[in-house]
Amino acid sequence: MIVSVPLAVRSWPVWWRARQAWVKDGALAAALTALAFVPTLSVIGVQLGDLPARPADALAAVLTVAQSAPLVFRSRHPAACLAVIGAAFAVHQALGYPQTFAGIGFYVALFTVGAQQSRHRRTLAVAVSAGYAALAIVLSRLGSPNRITDFLAFSLVLVVIWLAGAAMRRRRAEEAERRRLTALAAGADERARIARELHDVVTHHVTAMVVQADAAQFLVGTAPERAGQGLSAIGDTGRQALTELRHLLGVLEATGDAALTNHPPTLGRVAGLVEQARMSGQPVELTEYGEQLPRAVDVELAAYRVVQEALTNAVKHAPGRPTRVTVHHRAGHIDIEVTTEGSARAEGPAVPSGGRGLDGLRRRLHLLDGELTAGARPGGGFTVRALIPSRSAA
C-alpha cells in the first residue's frame, strides 16, 4: 500500500524555517529602527561625507526608516534589501542629514549579501563598488573635506564586511557538504549491513532447501518415509527463512512490531542451525564449553551468523562430511571454531557460491573489534575460527 503524504505536511519544515527567519529579521529591523530615534544614540552611526549639517526633517525620518526597516526582507531578498538601504544611505549622506543609528543597517545588509546571496555575486559586487564610487564623487563635488584616502579607507571597511559574510557562506556550504557526505556514508554502511543480513539469511536457508530437495528426489522411490521427512524439513527451513526475513523487513520498515524487531537470531539458537544442517544430510557435532552469559544483541547476532555461514559453506563444499562446531563461552569473549573434514566432491560445490559470506563476516566482526580466520586444513578440510569480544546485555 502506498501512503500519500499531504503537500502541506511535507512543506511544514520549510514554512517553519521561513517563519523563524521572518521573525528574527523583523525583530532586528524593528530594534534598529527604534534605536535610531533614541536621542542618546544619535551620535552613533555612519558619517561619510562630513558635509554641513542640515536640520532633521520629515525626509530625514523617512530616510532613517529606509535604512533599517528593509532588513525584514534580508534573508529572502538580500540583494533587494541592500539596494533599498544603500540608496537611502547615499541620499542621507548626500543631503548632509545628521548621522543616525539606522546607518548600521547598511553594514548589516552588506554582510547579509555576502553571506546569503547565491546568484550574480560578482555582478552585485561590481554594482556596489560602482555605486560607492559614484557616491564618493558626489560627496566631493558637494564640498566634502574628505580626501580620496579617506574614501578608500571606508571602502576597505565595506570590503572586510563583505568578505566576512562570504566566509560565513563558505563555512555553511562546507558544513552542508560535510553533512551530505556523512549521510551518504551512513547510507552506504546501512546498505552494506542490509546486504550482509540478506546474504546470511537467504544463502543459508536456500542452500539447505536445495540440498534437502536433491536428497528427497533420490529417496522418493527407495525410501518414501525418509523422503517425506526430507520434504517436511524443507518446509521447516522455508518457514524459518520467512521468519528471519520478516524480522529483517520489520527492522527496515521500523514498524515498531515487537514480535519482529525484538527477537533477532541469537547464539542460543545455534542448536537449531546444527539440527537444520543434519536434516540436510550433514553430520554435525556441537560442543559448548562454559556458561552461556547474556550478551549484547550485536554480539549474539554476529556469533550466530558465524556458525550459520560456516555450516552453509560445509553443506555447499563438503556435503556429507563430518563437521564439528565448538563454542567457548568466556567472560570477556566468545570463541567459535567450525571444522569440516575434506570434501568428498571433486567437481565443485553442491550449490553455486558467490564468495561474499566470509568477507561480510570479517567486516561484521571488525566493527565489534573481533577477528575471523578461515582457511584449509593441512590434512584436508576447512576451518573457520572467530573471536568476538562480548559486552554484557544492557
* Residue 88: band (very low, low, confident or very high) from pLDDT cuts 50, 70, 90: very high
Task: With respect to residue 266, please indicate whether it lies within any of the assigned structural domains.
Answer: yes
Q: Please state the length of the chain.
A: 394
| Residue 209's CATH number | 3.30.565.10
Do 304 and 358 meet the contact criterion of CB atoms below 8 Å apart? no
What is the rounded average pLDDT of the residues 273-293?
84
Task: With respect to residue 291, please indicate whether it lies within any of the assigned structural domains.
Answer: yes
- Is there a single domain that holds both residue 349 and residue 200? yes
- Is there a single domain that holds both residue 345 and residue 257? yes
The model scores a pTM over 0.85: no
pLDDT value at residue 145: 86
Task: With respect to residue 176, please indicate whether it lies within any of the assigned structural domains.
Answer: no
- Is there a single domain that holds both residue 128 and residue 216? no
pLDDT value at residue 87: 93
Task: With respect to residue 383, please indicate whether it lies within any of the assigned structural domains.
Answer: yes
| pLDDT, tens digit, 9 for 90 and up, residues 329-363 | 988 889 999 999 875 444 444 444 445 677 878 88
pLDDT value at residue 347: 44
Task: With respect to residue 283, please indicate whether it lies within any of the assigned structural domains.
Answer: yes
Report the chain's terminal Cα–Cα distance, integer Å. 37
Q: How many domains does the chain have?
A: 2
* 7 backbone dihedrals φ, ψ, rounded to 5°: -60, -35
pLDDT value at residue 301: 83
- Is there a single domain that holds both residue 224 and residue 99? no
Residue 271 has which C-alpha cell?
542448536
| pLDDT, tens digit, 9 for 90 and up, residues 112-170 | 999 988 888 889 999 999 999 999 999 888 888 888 888 899 999 999 999 999 999 99
| pLDDT, tens digit, 9 for 90 and up, residues 29-84 | 888 888 888 887 766 777 887 788 788 889 999 999 999 999 998 888 999 999 99
- Is there a single domain that holds both residue 105 and residue 212? no
pLDDT value at residue 163: 92
pLDDT value at residue 65: 92
pLDDT value at residue 111: 93
What is the rounded average pLDDT of the residues 100-122?
90
Count CB-CB contacts under 10 A for residue 165: 21
* Residue 221: band (very low, low, confident or very high) from pLDDT cuts 50, 70, 90: low
Residue 213 has pLDDT above 80, yes or no: no
Q: Which domain holds residue 139?
A: 7-146
Distance in angstroms (rounded) separating the CA atoms of residues 84 and 69: 10
- Is there a single domain that holds both residue 18 and residue 140? yes
- Per-chain mean pLDDT for the chain: 79
* Better-scored residue on pLDDT, 394 or 268: 268
Task: With respect to residue 179, please indicate whether it lies within any of the assigned structural domains.
Answer: no
The listed range with the strongest mean pLDDT (16-25, 71-80, 182-191, 237-246) is 71-80
- Is there a single domain that holds both residue 42 and residue 93? yes
Distance in angstroms (rounded) separating the CA atoms of residues 375 and 383: 6
- Is there a single domain that holds both residue 219 and residue 325? yes
- Is there a single domain that holds both residue 69 and residue 128? yes
Task: With respect to residue 153, please indicate whether it lies within any of the assigned structural domains.
Answer: no
- Is there a single domain that holds both residue 228 and residue 335? yes
- Is there a single domain that holds both residue 330 and residue 195? yes
How far CA 342 is from CA of 86, 345, 378, in Å, comes to 86, 9, 10
Task: With respect to residue 2, please indicate whether it lies within any of the assigned structural domains.
Answer: no
- Is there a single domain that holds both residue 110 and residue 50? yes
